[in-house]
Structure 1
Amino acid sequence: MRLVGNMAQWKSAAKEALDRTAIVAKFLCCLHVTSNYLCSPIHVYGPSMLPTLNLAGDVLLVDHLSPRIQNIARGDLVLVRSPLDPNRTITKRIVAMEGDTVTYFHPSHCDAPQLALVPKGHVWIQGDNIYASRDSRHFGPVPYGLVLGKVFFRVTVLPHATVLNVLLIIPLVWPLDSAGLLVRVNSRTYIAYKYTVNGVGLWVMKGVEKRRLGLDPVVPY
């Protein structure tokens, strides 16, 4: 009888373990599909996109579906796999599409303007800060297949504020790290949550300086 009881307990434990494993596997599959094919957050920094993006870094939300359905255009901010180093990704603005003619100054001999025709299946990308950007002026038009996504939101740190205000978008694309925290600010109570987005912590926590994070669209120009 004891053996039968032990077998029943073992079967119950094994079934529970399998059920939990299936839930975790489904969650990881959904996260993989979301991050690689729908939308994902990325952390970018550097001077090449000044003044649109901050030198110290920004967290951007990238739409991976738009390039697949050819829904990108001039002025869009895009995430591109570097043609010089496949292990790196760069964030630039689309200046011209296939069939367009671009007039530009090559960084190494900028005294004479040059013309370039963007071939079919390619785009011409440049940084907003052309004096500190390595882009199509250096390596030419970029194949459409290297465009990984289109930026549609930026998470910005707002000065002199204390409330985490990123909850409308982040929960849709990234898992919650911990339970909500109650934060008291100017006699008002807020619920703050912690997330980790590609290694960047977005959180409000006791004993840590509280900051407000807001969402604002990246407007093409």
Structure 2
Amino acid sequence: MLWYSYKYIENNYFLVMFINKIKKSLGRILGITGYAIQYGCIAHCTFEFIGDFVVCQGPSMEPTIFSKDVIITEHVSPRMNLVNRGDIIVARSPSNPHQFICKRVTALSGDSVKTGLWSEIVPRGHVWLEGDNKHNSTDSRKFGAIPQGLIRGRVIFRIWPLSEFGFLKSSKELI
């Protein structure tokens, strides 16, 4: 009988140790998962509400921004309606909502824009966008003024290529 109780205690000891190891491992896994979820939420909120990275495509903003340049945009100004003439912005394309465009704001609500032979007034709540490379740009001259709600962010900084690293200031001379 003594042998049986010793064997029972020994088996329980190993069982308890095994369960403790599982608890410890699960605790670590859940802890790491918790941190990953927290940091994922922080990253999502940062990229959605504060700013993010954008890789520009196409020649429409040359010579200011070239294709494959990586830029940083901030999302606060568009949400506060603080976009000004000369600002470079990233917006949803009015012709293809799954695509983003990078253009310069050339006119705001109420401004008159010359489009060929006649002038057009930019409607309330809209902006007029044009690329710096006017001969190779699909912009407001083709699709008209775009609603301010389509603006995703204002370009503030170029991080790639490193030779062009630095702030991108709004330029009123190009307007």
TM-score bracket, normalised by the shorter chain, equals: 0.7 to 0.9
Larger CA Rg, structure 1 vs 2: 2
User: Which secondary structure state, in structure 2, belongs to the residue aligned with residue 49 of structure 1?
Assistant: coil
Which residue of 2 is the match for residue 12 of structure 1?
24
Secondary structure, in 3 states, of the residue corresponding to 2:165? Answer: strand
> Once superposed, what is the RMSD of the aligned Cα atoms?
1.3
Which residue of 160, 166, 173 maps to 1:216? 166
Please list, as runs of the form range in 1=range in 2, the aligned pairs for 1:169-188 lying within 5 A after superposition. Answer: none
Q: Give the TM-score, by structure 1 length.
A: 0.69
CA-to-aligned-CA distance 1:124-183 (integer Å, 9 cap, x gap): 1010111110111111110010000000011243xxxxxxxxxxxxxxxxxxxxxxxxxx
Gaps of 5+ in 1: 106-112, 158-211
* Runs of 4+, deviation exceeding 6 Å: none
2:114 to 99, 103, 125: 103
**TM-score under structure 2 normalisation?**
0.86
**In structure 2, distance between residues paired with 1:32 and 1:82:** 22
Corresponding residue of 1:164: none
Between Structure 1 and Structure 2, the one with more strand by share is 1
Q: Which residue of 1 aligns with 2:84?
A: 73
Closer, same or farther: CA 215–119 of 1 in aligned 2, 3 Å: same
Q: Which has the higher contact order (CA 8 A, sep 6+)?
A: 2
- 8 A contact 1:156–1:216 mirrored in 2: no
Task: Flag structure 2 segments of 5+ consecutive residues without an equivalent.
Answer: 1-12
Corresponding residue number in structure 2 for 1:25: 37
Structure 2 residue matching 1:23: 3-state secondary structure = helix
Aligned residue in 2 for 1:166: none
Structure 1 residue 215 displacement after superposition: 2.3
Flag the structure with higher helix content. 2
Contact 1:155 1:213 in 2 (8 A): no
State how far apart, in whole Å, the 2-side matches of 1:41 and 1:62 are: 6
1:135 to 115, 126, 139: 139
Distance 1:63 1:78 in 2: 9
Which of 76, 88, 111 aligns to 2:99? It is: 88
**How many angstroms apart in 2 are the aligned matches of 1:153 and 1:85?**
26
Q: When the two structures are aligned, how many residues end up with a matched partner?
A: 159
Provide the C-alpha distance between the structure 2 equivalents of 1:214 and 1:129, rounded to a whole number of angstroms: 18
Q: Which residue of 2 aligns with 1:48?
A: 60
1:213 Cα shift?
4.9
